[in-house]
Amino acid sequence: MSDWVTPGGLISGRTLPGLLLATGQFLPVTDIHRLASTSSLTRLVMNAEGQVLDVGRTVRRATRTQRRAILARYTTCMVDDCHLPAHLCQIDHVQNWSDAGATDLDNLGPTCQFHNRDRYQHPDRYQLRRVGDNRWAFTYIGPRPGRLSRVD
Ligand SMILES: [Zn+2]
């Protein structure tokens, strides 16, 4: 690769398409094709300090930085009327990981162990709503009347 780049960072003589990296090295299109066929692409969103906030579907568990950002946004479990402090909660995917939910900051929030499991087992019993620009909340609405079995 480096033989394609002059000491000043310019591509010497060759005109094949490729990508000029921030390091000044030129990555030929053949290498880009090889990387694309043997790698997975992950979108990373970082904060001003360069800490990762969004990792898409590559990683299931929240990063330490994501957890810190979530604890700055929430004080309790994100289910209404549940008062368990956020720092004692699990970090939950608003759209469940099993339903293709991403491990992105905007799709994460704290839920206590009970609500994490109950929401996963009975998603129809919870109603999701946005709170402000960057938080979510769930309201427990209980079993839907049509799904209750009658006991005489
Ligand atoms: Zn809870």
Taking the model in full, what pTM does it have? 0.66
Give the distance (Å) from ligand 1 centre to CA of residue 119.
Answer: 10
- In this model, does residue 52 exceed pLDDT 60? yes
User: Exposure of 55 by Cβ count < 10 A (0-12 exposed, 13-18 middle, 19+ buried)?
Assistant: buried
pLDDT of 127 > 90? The answer is yes
* b (16+ CB within 10 A) / e for 66-94: bbebbeebbebbbbeebebebeebebbbb
Structure confidence at residue 29 (pLDDT): 83
From the CA of 120, how far away is ligand 1's center (Å)? 13
pLDDT of residue 62 exceeding 60, the answer is yes
Q: State the distance from the centre of ligand 1 to the C-alpha of 115, rounded, in angstroms.
A: 5
Distance 84 CA to ligand 1 centre (A): 6
Q: Where are the domains of the chain?
A: 2-38, 59-140
- Ligand 1 centre to CA of 139 (Å) is 11
Distance in Å, CA 73 to ligand 1 centroid: 16
Distance 5 CA to ligand 1 centre (A): 57
Question: In angstroms, how far apart are the furthest CA atoms of the chain?
Answer: 87
Confidence check: pLDDT of 69 > 80? yes
Mean pLDDT for 17-24 is 78
Task: Give 3's DSSP letter.
Answer: G
pLDDT at 90 over 60: yes
Q: Cα(112) to centroid of ligand 1, in Å?
A: 4
* 113 CA → ligand 1 middle, Å: 7
Residue for token pair 């009658």:
150
* CA of residue 79 to ligand 1 center, whole Å: 5
Q: Is a pLDDT exceeding 60 seen at residue 76? A: yes
What confidence score (pLDDT) does residue 35 get? 81
Mean pLDDT of 32-59: 75
CA–centroid distance, 39 to ligand 1, in Å, is 39
